[in-house]
Amino acid sequence: MPQEPKKSRQTTKDPVETSVPAPLPLKLSLEDNLQEFSRRIGSSSDIVIRHYKSEAKPPLTLAFIYIDGLVNADTVNQAVLQSLMENSTLNGDSITTEAAFNLIKEHILPVGGVKEARTLEVLLPLLFDGYTLILFEGLQVALAADTSGWEKRSINEPTSQGVIRGPKEGFTESLRTGTAMLRRRLKTADLRIEEYTIGQRTGTGIALVYLKGLASEQVLTEIRRRLNAINTDAILESNYIEEFIQDGGLTPFPTIQNTERPDAMAGGILEGQVGIVIDGTPFALLAPSTFFNFFQSSEDYYQRYDISSFLRLIRYGAFFVSMLLPALYIAVTTFHQEMLPTTLLISLAAQREGVPLPAFAEALLMELTFDVLREAGVRMPRTIGPAISIVGALVLGQAAVQAGLVSAAMVIVVSFTAISNFVIPSLAIANSIRLIRFVMMFIAASLGLFGIMSFLMVLLIHMAGLRSFGVPYLSPVAPMIPRYLKDIFIRVPLWGMNMRPKTNLGKETRRQSPHQKPQPAEDAAKPSPAQPKPQGEGPA
Amino acid sequence: MNGKIGTTQAVLLVVNTILPTATVVLPIIISTYTEQDAPLAIILSTLAGLLIAWIVGTVIQNSNGAPFLDWVGEKSSPVVSVILGLLMLQFYLDTTATILREFVNFLKDNVLINTPITVLVILILFITIYMVRQGIEAIARVNSLVILLYLFFVPLYLLGLYSDLNVHHLLPMFDHSLAEITLASLTPTAWMSEVAVLLFLAPYLQYPQRAKIIGWTGLLFVAILMMLILITALMVFGPEFIKLSAYPGFATISILRVGRFIEKLDILFISYWVLSIYLKFAIFLFVTVECFKQTFRVSSSRPFIGALGLIIALECLFSWQSSAKLNNYNQEGRFVVFFLFNVLVPLGAVLLNRLHKARSKRKGLET
């Protein structure tokens, strides 16, 4: 039996490379061009090809191509088809094809964007962006009119980052809506938006948004380099970009923030971060991001500084509880019973008396049960969602304790851990802790508190070595920069944060005039020796 | 990953280079000789330590932060530098192995009584190798964070012991002869001389010209904390009972309580101590690797970290099996070895530099 020759590694082509055809210039014959279009895009039902022949002699022959659903039908009909068909000059005998081309391009088409293209490789992406293509018989150049207008979701409240006080609008899946929302918040000439198209099959639009002069050039260069280095066929969500450009490789910690709040992104951009808005998802990215950025919520700045500071401290506490509580419970009940006061020890021992499982197995069972419930809650239709809480609370909580499978203390530990996990404002870092918690539990069951401390040391050293686009992940705590701690563990009043923290390799810059602490009129009128007069700095 | 470290970070590195093992071992050694006069031994050893820091700082200032063995090679000859490098490598391998042994001995005695020592050694070694691979910059950052926790632990320690402190246990003062105090100060001086690790950290110092300040500040910080631990242990147990515990510092913590609701906090302090000793071990492993790198002039030391770690683990497991032997070395042998490598070697380097300068001047005059 003849054997098929083996394909060598070198001859196996990369699917991404094969999807890039050689540039094909347009031909003089309109029919040939249309045939080539049909060959490339097939005869899909949503592609509309409309022929037009003028009354002139010789007639001007054109073809319009657009994709139904991606274009605004009214714009196509009124601004393109009607304008051209009813134009008397185009129907006159004396006009040549070249003259008609220029006339259409310069005068007839009443749409904002008109582009000229000579190859199919330029025309096809425009077609998929909702442009209407106009091909001419006898010309090797075509026009593309911006008629895009597909159905979009309206602006809604963010689902994952809600606030009690503050703006209620979130990004949508539209890139342009996203950039417009940022533009509306940052009305400055320094705002820059750079666009990229990534993904050879998805052609996803990506916008790099930053404030010139505030964002570090070093960071910008690095982000641009990493974006340009992405060679993939599909970008469907911001996580695709995040995984391709984030530092740290196999780190469990996120080094890029994601947000669906335009106000949060504007706040980040104002502190020198760079925003990355991706078409097709309401989740945009912010980089560089340090560990402490993930504990800041937009609402921290929309309510009083004292309550914001308190809540921030609660979040750090919840972070440690979420990561360590089950592991500490296992370590204490297994290795270090002497740590517990006698009465508590007796109470715990009595609860665990009939439990057949060791503390680790008990904790693992409950944690996995909670994760199953949580995942089921996400997938389950909303109408039967409350059933989950009944099943979780009654069947798996109360019944399991009564059946003697788990102790009541363990149910309390797992519940408090789960609730603490939801206190953390960033889902990205909350998810990191979910995984780390399991490792901690295993180590606690094997080596007790020493194991927990050892793993904490590994995590600490890992985080200390991590960088986000050149910015140390634990800055400004390690390395310690005391004057930038005003917005880390607590938030000082806004009038106390005159300088913009230098966490992005950029320059430390002033964001507002000093001495803005409100004072009674008579005190403010007196010149104070401790407070020198402002040196004519402009308002923020 | 080996970036430059700032002056404060370097000071804090010096603190954790000395303190974690010193707090465990020193109180029993010092109080055996001098009982209630133990604080005087600390003062004497601090003065000696400051002198050593001056010598080490002078070497770093002269070399302007250049790798120590390369600089010695330039000033003398490459042969001298290689021989000195081999001897120092042996010294650092031994020292790191004893640190590891003290670490696992403590864990075995107090925390994980049933866990085999080999398991502990392998685990600690893997973690420390990972730390060293992350670089001195990352170690220095974590070290600063860990030392920051003193702000929580020191007040808790003092508050918890307040009701048990008996100042009369410190009396009568000056009850021991100068000879006894000098003898008691030898071991802490040996520990203070560990400031000489700066010789190998010098290439990573952002401002090597501040080496003396780094050494002095670090040693003063260490002296204050050692004094605090020793005086409180003495005030709680008295000069006689303190000798009965192998780890008086931790014995003091075991009686610590705040009100009627916070007590039995030894495991909390031990957990904190575990973090500190990891850092101490990482600093010494880093210095050992750096010494190896400079001696054998290898461009990247990363492939050798594991191999050096393995040698340290084997030495820890098979050369220091007996705790009595290790205690004996700490009391009697350590001072001689440390004096040789941490004092005489840098002093020799200072003299070598002076000689070299004098020769160059003479040559300049002759020409």
Tokens representing A20?
A: 């890039």
Cross-chain residue pair B138–A464, CB shorter than 8 Å:
yes
What is the rounded CA–CA span in Å between residue B53 and residue A263?
Answer: 53
Reduced 3-state DSSP string for A108-168: HCCCCCEEEECEHHHHHHHHHCCEEEEEECCCCCEEEEECECCCCCCCCCCCCCCCCCCCC
Mutate which: B2, B147, B152, B274, vs A, most A CBs within 10 A: B274
- What is the pLDDT, as a whole number, of residue A161? 86
What is the residue-wise DSSP string for B242-259?
GGG-SSHHHHHHHT-EET
A391-447 pLDDT, tens digit per residue, is: 777 777 788 888 888 888 888 999 999 999 999 999 999 999 999 999 999 999 999
Q: What is the pLDDT of residue B58?
A: 95
Residue with tokens 């911001």: A238
Beta bridge mates, A509: A500
CA closest to A478 among chain B residues: B141
Q: Count chain A–chain B contacts defined by CB atoms under 8 A.
A: 80
Q: Which amino acid type is present at position A402?
A: Q
Q: How far is A251 from chain B (nearest CA, A)?
A: 13
Name residues whose C-beta falls within 8 Å of residue B54's C-beta, 6 or more positions apart in sequence. Answer: B212, B215, B216
B137 contacts A465? CB cut-off 8 A: yes
At A81 the three-state DSSP class reads: helix
**CA-wise closest residue to B121 among B250, B282, B312:** B312
Separation of alpha carbons A87 and A108, rounded Å:
8
Kindly state the DSSP code that residue B140 receives in the 8-state scheme. H
Distance from CA of A454 to the nearest CA of B (A): 7
* Region A356-365 average pLDDT: 90
> Which residues of chain B does A444 touch, with a Cβ-Cβ cutoff of 8 Å?
none
Q: Is the pLDDT of residue A537 over 60?
A: no
Are A161 and A425 within 8 A, CB to CB?
yes
* A305 Cα to chain B: minimum distance (Å): 25
Contact A449 B264 (CB under 8 A): no
Domain ranges of chain B: 7-366
- Average of per-residue pLDDT across A117-137: 91
pLDDT cut 70: percent of chain B above it = 98
A242/A113 Cα distance (integer angstroms)? 31
Q: Does A505 touch chain B (CB under 8 A)?
A: no
CA dist B143 to A468, A480, B12, B137, Å?
21, 11, 7, 10
What rounded mean pLDDT belongs to chain A? 86
Point out the residue among B115, B267, B274 whose CB comes nearest to the CB of A339. Answer: B267
Token reading at B96: 């790191």
Bridging pattern class, strands A191-198 and A142-146: unpaired
A320 Cβ neighbours under 8 A, 6+ residues apart = none
Q: Hey, of B109, B127, B142, B206, which one would you mutate to test binding to chain A, going by the most A CBs within 10 A of its CB?
A: B142
CA distance A253 to chain B (A): 16
CB contact under 8 A, A447 and B115: yes
**What is the per-residue pLDDT across A324-352, written as a single tens digit (0 to 9) for each?**
999 999 998 888 887 777 788 888 888 88
From chain A, the residues in CB contact with B9 under 8 A are: 479
What is the Cα–Cα distance from A421 to A272, expressed in whole angstroms? 29
**Set of chain A residues whose Cβ sits within 8 Å of the Cβ of B135:** 465
pLDDT at position B5: 92
β-bridge partners, A500: A509
Closest partner residue to B127 (CB to CB) among A449, A457, A477 is A457
Instruction: Give the max Cα distance, chain B.
Output: 82
A327 min Cα distance to partner chain B (Å): 14
Question: pLDDT tens digits for A163-220?
Answer: 889 999 999 999 999 999 999 999 999 999 999 999 988 989 999 999 998 898 999 9
The rounded percent of chain A whose pLDDT value lies above 70 is 91
Q: B7-366: CATH homologous superfamily?
A: Amino acid/polyamine transporter I (1.20.1740.10)
A168 touching chain B per CB within 8 A: no
Q: What is this structure's pTM?
A: 0.87
Does the pLDDT at position A13 exceed 50? no
Q: How far is B1 from chain A (nearest CA, A)?
A: 7
Tell me how far apart the terminal alpha carbons of chain A are, to the nearest angstrom: 81
Instruction: Assess contact for B268 and B248: CB atoms under 8 A.
Output: no
The counts of H helices and E strands in chain A are 18, 14
Selecting from B261, B264, B274 the residue whose C-beta is nearest the C-beta of A338 gives: B264
Distance in Å, alpha carbon of B133 to nearest chain A alpha carbon: 10
Q: Does A344 touch chain B (CB under 8 A)?
A: no
Closest by Cβ to A461, choosing from B131, B148, B264: B131
Work out the burial of residue A522: count CB atoms within 10 Å of its CB; fewer than 13 is exposed, 13-18 middle, 19 or more buried.
exposed
Dmax (CA) for chain A in angstroms is 106
Which residue on chain A is closest to B262 by alpha carbon?
A: A341
H or E element at residue B146: helix B136-148
Residues in chain A with CB shorter than 8 Å from the CB of B107 are 450
Say if the Cβ atoms of B142 and A456 lie within 8 Å.
no
B118 has a chain A CB within 8 A of its CB: no
User: For chain A, percent helix, then strand, then coil, each to nearest 5?
Assistant: 45, 15, 40
Which residues are CB-neighbours of B147 under 8 A, at least 6 positions away?
Answer: B12, B15, B16
C-alpha–C-alpha distance, residues B330 and B102, integer Å: 10
- Top-confidence range, A46-55, A102-111, A464-473, B211-220: B211-220
List the Cα angle A213/A217/A219 in 5-degree steps.
120
pLDDT digits 0-9 by tens, A449-489: 999 999 999 999 999 999 999 899 998 888 888 888 888 99
Kindly report the nearest CA distance between residue B359 and chain A, in angstroms.
43
3-state secondary structure of A194: strand
pLDDT digits (tens, 9 = 90+) for B129-182: 999 999 999 999 999 999 998 888 888 888 888 888 888 888 888 888 888 888
Does the beta-carbon distance from A447 to B112 stay under 8 Å? yes
Residue type, A449: L
Residue A294 has pLDDT above 70, yes or no: yes
Residues 6+ apart with CB under 8 A from A513: A498, A534, A537, A538, A539, A540
Residue from the list A449, A462, A478 with its beta carbon closest to the beta carbon of B271: A449
For helices B38-63 and B68-75, give the axis angle rounded to 10 degrees. Answer: 60
* Residue in A461, A463, A466 to test binding to B, most B beta-carbons within 10 Å: A461
- Using a CB–CB cutoff of 8 Å, tell me whether A482 touches chain B: no
- For A197-251, give the DSSP string: EE-TTT-EEEEEEEETTTS-HHHHHHHHHHHHT---S---SHHHHHHHH-TTTT-
* Residues of chain A numbered 282-341 and touching chain B (CB < 8 Å): 335-336, 338-339, 341
Identify whether the C-beta of residue A433 lies closer than 8 Å to the C-beta of residue A319: yes
Rounded distance, CA A46 to CA A254, Å? Answer: 41
Q: Residue B162 and residue B335: Cα distance in Å, rounded?
A: 35
Distance between B145 CA and the closest CA of chain A, angstroms: 7
CB-based contact, B173 to chain A, within 8 Å: no
Read off the pLDDT band of B61 (50, 70, 90): very high
Touching check for A452 and chain B: CB below 8 Å? yes
